[in-house]
């Protein structure tokens, strides 16, 4: 089967969601291809949006018409403005999210967006001819053709998971990596490098002595991420 679009986005994380929405809203027939539709916009490690650098980035995305700022304003469970004891230039918002609600809300936005189609598939190969992309070949056997392709695969390109001294292939815990797409990019002359992110051990909340800890509440008047939030 061969399906044609103007633009195809590979990967359904935060960047992929914003890229697909931006393309569709500009009138392009757009496809978002992801391994699992149920993990669109999943927060894998820390279920938070914002911070000293990322808070600025989220607001820039919002100013350009993106959805992340709006969705975290709707699904956040604690909001804090960081560095309030310092100057205005280094202050930035951060919010802890209800990560399942965040996922659900973002997926609903994607599903309702005109000009945007969602596909659950794994892209294994990029086919090039005459110096341009001819098609993407999915694990399902489907060929997807487009004038442009945006790759937002995050940690899944030939990903590795280190647990102590052990090492396994995976995009994140319990999910496969995208090794064939990585090989396809290498065969096309691209240099593939790897960045590392660390996830701290998860603690059993039933075994924590909360009496010796200091409670840190959110701000009484939360600082919104989106300019449209009232």
Rounded to an integer, what distance in angstroms lies between the CA atom of residue 214 and that of residue 201?
Answer: 21
Q: What is the Cα–Cα distance from 18 to 2, expressed in whole angstroms?
A: 25
Q: 97-126, pLDDT tens digit by residue?
A: 999 999 999 999 999 999 999 999 999 999
Give which of 64, 56, 51, 69 is closest to 14, Cα–Cα: 69
Specify the higher pLDDT residue, 154 or 45: 154
Query: pLDDT averaged over the chain?
Result: 93
Residue 29 near residue 116, CB atoms below 8 Å: no
What sign for the dihedral angle of Cα 16, 17, 20, 21?
Answer: negative
What is the helix (H) or strand (E) element at residue 187, kind and residue range? helix 179-187
Least Cα distance to 33 among 114, 158, 128, 143 occurs for 143
Q: Give the C-alpha separation, 105 to 168, whole Å.
A: 32
SS3 content of the chain, % helix, strand, coil (to 5): 30, 30, 40
Q: Give all domains of the chain, ordered by start, each with its CATH number.
A: 2-47+98-196 (3.50.50.60)
For residue range 63-101, list pLDDT tens digits in order. 999 999 999 999 999 999 999 999 998 999 999 999 999
The token pair at 98 is 């209800």
| 193 vs 149: CA distance, rounded Å | 20
- Does the global pTM surpass 0.75? yes
199: confidence class by pLDDT, cuts 50, 70, 90: confident
Alpha helices of 156-196 — where are they, by DSSP H?
179-187
């Amino acid at each position: 089967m061969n399906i044609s679009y103007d633009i195809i986005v590979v990967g359904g994380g935060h960047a992929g969601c914003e890229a697909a929405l931006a393309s569709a809203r500009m009138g392009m027939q757009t496809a978002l291809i992801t391994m699992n539709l149920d993990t669109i916009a999943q927060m894998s490690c820390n279920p938070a949006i914002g911070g000293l650098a990322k808070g600025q980035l989220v607001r820039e995305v919002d100013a350009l018409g993106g959805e992340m700022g709006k969705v975290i304003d709707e699904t956040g469970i604690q909001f804090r403005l960081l560095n309030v004891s310092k100057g205005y230039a280094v202050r930035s918002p951060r919010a802890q999210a209800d990560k399942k609600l965040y996922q659900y809300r973002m997926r609903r936005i994607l599903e309702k967006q005109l000009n945007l189609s969602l596909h659950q598939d794994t892209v294994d190969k990029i086919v090039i001819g005459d110096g341009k992309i001819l098609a993407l070949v999915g694990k399902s056997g489907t060929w997807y053709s487009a004038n442009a392709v945006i790759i937002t695969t995050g940690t899944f390109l030939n990903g590795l998971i280190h647990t102590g001294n052990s090492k396994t292939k995976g995009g994140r815990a319990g999910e496969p990596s995208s090794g064939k797409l990585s090989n396809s990019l290498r065969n096309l002359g691209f240099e593939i490098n790897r960045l590392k992110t660390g996830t701290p051990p998860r603690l059993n909340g039933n075994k924590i002595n909360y009496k010796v800890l200091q409670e840190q509440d959110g701000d009484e008047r939360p600082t919104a991420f989106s300019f449209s939030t009232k």
